[in-house]
Amino acid sequence: MKNTQIFFRSFLAAIVWVQAATFSATAFGQKLTNEVLEFKGPQQTAEYIFRNSPKDVLISVQLFGSVARPGLYYVPEDTDLLKLLTLSGGVLNSSELEEVVVRKNDPRSWHNLNLSFVEQTNSQTYRLDIDNLLKDSPSLKPLRMAHQDFVYVPQKSPLINNDLYRVITIGAVILSAALTVLLIQEKR
């Protein structure tokens, strides 16, 4: 009976300790996140103008998502998708390159593409696999951007979300505390 009481007291103490540690870790993580955001600042969109000569006719293309500089781009008419991504500073490490979405204002320009890395999802929207696009370099010419096109580069989803990670951590701490108490009880 006494051993059981000691076990439950130790177990409750471990739970209180884990909750306090989790709160402290969460508060510390929030403080660290706030400091990073204050230092880096939130990602904002802007307008960018690129031209080779003053006589270039510019088109506007919206580029958003997981790129270095998202925003509205004014680029020459003959700009292709890869050049647009390069002008934006490139994609981020967290980019999902197999799921890039392009919405064409005039879908006729890409309508007859028979490329393995381009999937037409509806009359104006295409899903691209940029990894395969880079391997198939002769096919780059047809992927020209047009006035008022929209490009979205999604971010990869993490394998384990924060909530599941927190539950696993708390469970591991509680289990290790309970096993430690049991081992101490056996030694007595």
Q: Tell me if 168 is assigned to some domain.
A: no
Domain holding 133: CATH number? 3.10.560
Closest CA to 116 of 98, 101, 103: 98
* Distance in angstroms (rounded) separating the CA atoms of residues 95 and 97: 6
Q: Based on the structure, what is the number of domains in the chain?
A: 2
Provide the pLDDT for residue 35.
45
Enter the tokens of residue 176.
């290790």
- Spatial neighbors of 127 by CB under 8 A, at least 6 apart, are 99, 100, 101, 118, 119, 121
* pLDDT tens sequence across 59-98: 999 999 999 999 999 999 888 888 899 899 988 888 888 8
Task: Give the domain extent around 64.
Answer: 46-153
Least confident of 58-72, 100-114, 128-142, 153-167: 128-142
* pLDDT tens sequence across 13-47: 555 555 555 555 455 455 444 444 444 445 566 78
| Residue 66: DSSP 8-state | S
Provide the pLDDT for residue 40.
45
